[in-house]
Amino acid sequence: MSVVVFVEEGDELSLQALAFARTLGETRAVSLDGPYAPAAWAAAISAAAEGADSIVAAGSDRGNELLAHVAARLDQPFAANVTRIEGDVVTRIRWGGSLLEEARLHGSPRILTVAPHVHEAEAPGAPVDLLPVDVADTPRVLDHVAPAGGGVSLRDAKVVVSGGRGVGSTEGFAIIEELAGLLGGAVGCSRVVTSAGWRPHTDQVGQTGTKISPDLYIACGISGATQHIAGCKGAKKILAINDDPEAPIMASADYAVIGDLHEIVPAISAELRKARG
């Protein structure tokens, strides 16, 4: 069996995909450089994969986009975010990981991306082939805009303090910001909060927001819809502060405090200040 794997330089998820691909057969790792141009890059990958049994990439934004282009070009099915494969039966992620699907992939070659953080990364081992590409007359990256900056980024924060519907208002987030500040962390929120306009979408943790993996996630007044859990389940520990001891978030939390977040959160901040003298 021969497998072509698309690998992005310096990308951990690509090396996880490579490890997965090696379980499928003899692998050839390929890469591209220059301005990112999805359709053109996919054409190059398709050409390089002629005769291969499988085409694999990471289940990242680029991996999923490129292999969707490859599959469209070749008119073959494409399974995104696969966690395992046996013969032509794949297990793949649905609902941001809240559900799995077993499906038969009737494709030749088999085209699939590998769900993030399911397999350990492996070093490339053999050299990665740099493919030639022609990006003329195709959509490509023309420019990069720097991030707005300021504050601790949600994605990289060690601690994230998040508020949900229970916070009640834009102003209600002052106590969330205070606790996050004391812990050197970032402020997050649930989808209800961004839909209500209390916080910007950049603060949203969830399936359609940012997926985070901090050491500690503090969820204040968040019920724990699957949409939200899909974004925070990568946290090492979760502390839920909620007035409902039966809220779904409790099934994902390691610790819980039951009661009104408007009393509990300031009390924790005060206690932290006291502990620090």
Partner 1 sequence: MRLLVCVKRVPLTGGRMVLTADEQAIDTKHLGFTISPHEECAVEEAVRLVEANGGESVVLTLGPAEAEEQLRDCMAIGADRAILLKTDGGEWDAQATARALVEAVRGEEPFDLILFGNESADSGNYQVGIRVACALGVPVVTGLKAIAVEGARVRCEREAGDGREVYEVALPTVLTVLEGLNLPRYPSVPGRLRAKSKPLAVIEPVRAEPRLEKLRLVVPEGQGKQAEVLGEGAAAAPRVVEVLQSLGVA
- Give yes or no for residue 183 binding partner 1 (CB under 8 A): yes
- Give yes or no for residue 130 binding partner 1 (CB under 8 A): no
Q: Are 141 and 54 in contact (CB under 8 A)?
A: no
The size of the interface with partner 1 (CB under 8 A), counted in residues, is 93
Residue with tokens 């003329």: 136
How far apart, in whole angstroms, are the C-alpha atoms of residue 69 and residue 75? Answer: 10
Q: Among 93, 192, 193, 205, indicate the residue that binds partner 1 (CB under 8 A).
A: 93
Longest Cα pair distance anywhere in the chain, in angstroms? 68
Q: How far is the CB of 197 from partner 1 (least distance, A)?
A: 6
**Only segment of 19-27, 48-56, 117-125, 139-147 that touches partner 1 (CB under 8 A):** 139-147
Q: How far is the CB of 59 from partner 1 (least distance, A)?
A: 9
Closer to partner 1 by Cβ: residue 106 or 123? 106
Rounded alpha-carbon distances, angstroms, from residue 216 to 41, 55, 119, 273: 39, 37, 23, 19
Tell which phi-psi region holds residue 88, choosing left (phi > 0), alpha (psi between -120 and 50) or beta.
alpha
Strand pairing report for 79-86 and 186-189: unpaired
Q: Which of 196, 176, 178 is nearest to 188 (CA)?
A: 176
Residue 265 exposed, middle or buried by CB count within 10 Å (0-12, 13-18, 19+): buried
- Give yes or no for residue 39 binding partner 1 (CB under 8 A): yes
Q: Among 79, 128, 193, 235, indicate the residue that binds partner 1 (CB under 8 A).
A: 79
- Give yes or no for residue 211 binding partner 1 (CB under 8 A): no
Closer to partner 1 by Cβ: residue 18 or 230? 230
Site map (CB under 8 A) of partner 1, residues 228-267, x = contact: ---------x-xx----x-xxxxxxxxxxxxxx--xx-xx
**Only segment of 16-24, 31-39, 116-124, 170-178 that touches partner 1 (CB under 8 A):** 31-39
Residues 44-73 that bind partner 1 (CB under 8 A): 61, 64-65, 68-69, 71-73
Residue count of the chain, please give it: 277
Q: Among 224, 231, 232, 235, indicate the residue that binds partner 1 (CB under 8 A).
A: 224
Q: How far is the CB of 126 from partner 1 (least distance, A)?
A: 26
How far apart, in whole angstroms, are the C-alpha atoms of residue 80 and residue 67? Answer: 9
**Only segment of 22-30, 44-52, 103-111, 128-136 that touches partner 1 (CB under 8 A):** 103-111
List the 26-31 sheet strands across, edge first: 89-94, 79-86, 110-114, 54-58, 2-6, 26-31, 129-130
Retrieve residue 27's tokens: 């692998």
- Give yes or no for residue 213 binding partner 1 (CB under 8 A): no
Q: Among 5, 105, 114, 186, indicate the residue that binds partner 1 (CB under 8 A).
A: 105
